[in-house]
Structure 1
Amino acid sequence: MFKADLLELLETVLGQRPDLAFHILSNGQHFEQGDVERLRQPCYQRVQWGIPVYSADHASHDQIVAKEGALARLEKSFCHLLAAGARIELRTVLLSDNYNDLPRLARYVVTRLPFIEHWSIMQLENAGFAKNRWDALYVDHQQDFAPLGQALDHAILSGLDVRLFNVPRCSVPQEYRPYAMASISDWKRRYAPTCAPCHERDQCGGFFEWHPRDADLKVVPL
């Protein structure tokens, strides 16, 4: 709705402040062919677009974002962003509705979207709309790591830069810990009491302050 205003703001600020860069979260629903030349301007190399994709299945993705035709429209936007040389961070939140489909999504990403800068796979934050539907939405990746592990394997073997966000290091097998980022800001991060002796605590993002405390019981100091 405010795309033109946003682009004008970005161009103005970036033109005056060469020391700044932007990371902008977008649903990717409104990029058009007419935006390509504009987005090719050098200033947009300091803009990264964070765009969510939840499933390779159109019906599943559309259901999660509550918009019919959302993935089809997003695929058109990706074509325009690719033509513009835009920098893209793909974002996928782990949900009970998409978890088992992660390997298929990984194959979709590496074959259809290899031009992205990186793929951020994120555990769900207990905030906003998710807070009221936590039990229905949250999926514990420790109970069955296989779908997530297979997705990571596809991405890694294809040379894709993949990262895990909001995931404590001890909650993933050792071979995947290098991909677990310390992604939670210090002002909203907490560690379980059992994290105290962990040798990898400084490299770990811990938990969100508002993450359910029952997760503390699964902490295993490394």
Structure 2
Amino acid sequence: MITLRGRLTQFNQSAINRGPAIVKLSDRTDRPMPLRAVEAFIHHHGPIPDGFGWYLVKDAETLALIPGGAAAAVLSEDFHHLGDGDVVRLEPAKAGIRTLFRKAVAYNHFLLTERCNNYCLMCSQPPRAVDDGWIVDEVLEVLRLMDRSATEIGFTGGEPTLLGARFIELVQAAGSHLPNTALHILSNGRSFATGTLARDLGAVRHPDLMLGIPVYADLAHVHDHVVQADGAFDETIRGILALKAQGVRVEIRVVLQEQTVPRLIPLARFLARNLLFVDHVALMGLELTGFARANLERIWIDPVDYQAELTEAVGILDRAGMKVSIYNSQHCILEPSLRRFSRRSISDWKQEYMPECEGCAAQGECGGFFSSAKFRYSRGISPILKAS
């Protein structure tokens, strides 16, 4: 695991006198002076250049060498992974630091709001009815500072589309500041049902956009029960149709749990017959945090117990020519025929391996576990001693 937020061990007086700041990090001594003034120099070794707005160092001795009057802070060991091109938020009053963008990873995601109109039984980010519009302003600032070579970013929630016009503003900003960066948005799809928001999103013409939308069953009442919202299935399907009518790519997401596995094979047939035009189907293991942990006894099913259903469902989708992937699963519990569909989908800052994984030859391809999996994981975990 990698720490993304925490406390800085020490600030100098100049930093204490400042308010919160979102800054891009640089370790380059050749940065032009106008850029230095709005960036933070992260010191690894060697001389300390003048002119940066902030300085982040790794020990108190170096703190004493910072040019006079400049704001500076000492990074704890938890944040020694930070490097050139990363973006952080510094909060001197709280001695806090929060990582907002990491240049070294292929995928960075941004939570846009905690509000949601679903209440999914296994939600890893339980919704809250709060006024969190400030998040949009923060993300807009980060998008402006991000490295243009970023491979992919994600927008999540809550339900991002509840932001309305500001949601469209964020998508426009992502396309403008990061024209070569893919954008993946997690949404329940319901806000697109009337067609208006889908039209507005399509009009942005983002060069590489995909919406990840959950469909948990082929039966409306089962899906509505899982998301705890009457009428959600109908709105979600109409939202998907509206998005595709506007040329927006759509990924169907199915979280595999006790209440969705019984309809997995019929759902695969439903998708192959009725939504063949969607761009990807992701079959996903549980993340045991938030509501998923609270409802664990209602939703837990050992993945070894649904391998037959998973194998048939993947086969149906694959034979229909649909692109299908398995996320958040471990190689050792998957049927060998399914391993080619498995993806390393868990972010490195919350990915772990269990003691049973020691000596496994497949760790390089295996998705591993969410850190929350320590509460419960499959009885079938065992090392693969040689590739198979």
- TM-score normalised per structure 1: 0.93
Q: Does 1:68 align with 2:230?
A: yes
Shift of 1:176: 0.6
SS at match of 1:164: strand
Name which of 161, 167, 178 aligns with 1:17: 178
Q: Computing the radius of gyration over CA atoms, which structure comes out larger, 1 or 2?
A: 2
Structure richer in strand, relative to its length: 2
Asked whether the 8 Å contact 1:96–1:138 carries over to 2, the reply is yes
Name which of 351, 355, 368 aligns with 1:189: 351
CA deviation digits over 1:134-153, x for unaligned, max 9? Answer: 12111112024211111111
1:77-88, aligned counterparts within 5 Å?
77-88=239-250
Q: Report the number of matched residues.
A: 222
The letter for the 2-side match of 1:168 is: Q
Name which of 329, 339, 347 aligns with 1:177: 339
Alignment partners' CA distance in 1, 2:355 and 2:305: 22
Name which of 159, 168, 177 aligns with 1:7: 168
Distance 1:17-1:191 versus aligned 2 partners, 3 A rule: closer
**Higher relative contact order (Cα pairs below 8 Å, separated by 6+ residues):** 1
The letter for the 1-side match of 2:164 is: K
Shift of 1:114: 1.3
Asked whether the 8 Å contact 2:302–2:379 carries over to 1, the reply is no
Shift of 1:36: 4.7
Shift of 1:216: 6.6
The letter for the 2-side match of 1:5 is: R
Who is 1:29 aligned against? 190
Distance 1:36-1:134 versus aligned 2 partners, 3 A rule: closer
1:151-170, aligned counterparts within 5 Å?
151-170=313-332
Q: Which runs of no fewer than 5 residues in structure 1 stay unpaired? A: none
Q: Does 1:122 align with 2:270?
A: no
Distance 1:217-1:58 versus aligned 2 partners, 3 A rule: closer
Shift of 1:76: 1.4
Aligned identity (percent) is 31
Distance 1:183-1:9 versus aligned 2 partners, 3 A rule: closer
Asked whether the 8 Å contact 1:35–1:80 carries over to 2, the reply is no
Shift of 1:197: 1.6
Distance 1:214-1:68 versus aligned 2 partners, 3 A rule: closer
Comparing 204-213 with 114-123, which one deviates more in the overlay? Answer: 204-213
CA deviation digits over 1:59-105, x for unaligned, max 9? Answer: 00001111111111112112211111111111110111111110000
Who is 1:43 aligned against? 205
Shift of 1:42: 6.2
Superposed structure 1 runs of 4+ greater than 6 Å apart: none
Name which of 246, 260, 267 aligns with 1:98: 260
Q: Which runs of no fewer than 5 residues in structure 2 stay unpaired? A: 1-161
Asked whether the 8 Å contact 1:192–1:216 carries over to 2, the reply is no
Distance 1:95-1:16 versus aligned 2 partners, 3 A rule: same
Alignment partners' CA distance in 2, 1:98 and 1:217: 20
Alignment partners' CA distance in 1, 2:383 and 2:294: 31
SS at match of 2:252: strand
Asked whether the 8 Å contact 2:303–2:378 carries over to 1, the reply is no
Comparing 20-29 with 212-221, which one deviates more in the overlay? Answer: 212-221
Comparing 3-12 with 84-93, which one deviates more in the overlay? Answer: 3-12
Alignment partners' CA distance in 2, 1:4 and 1:83: 20
SS at match of 1:106: helix
Shift of 1:125: 0.7
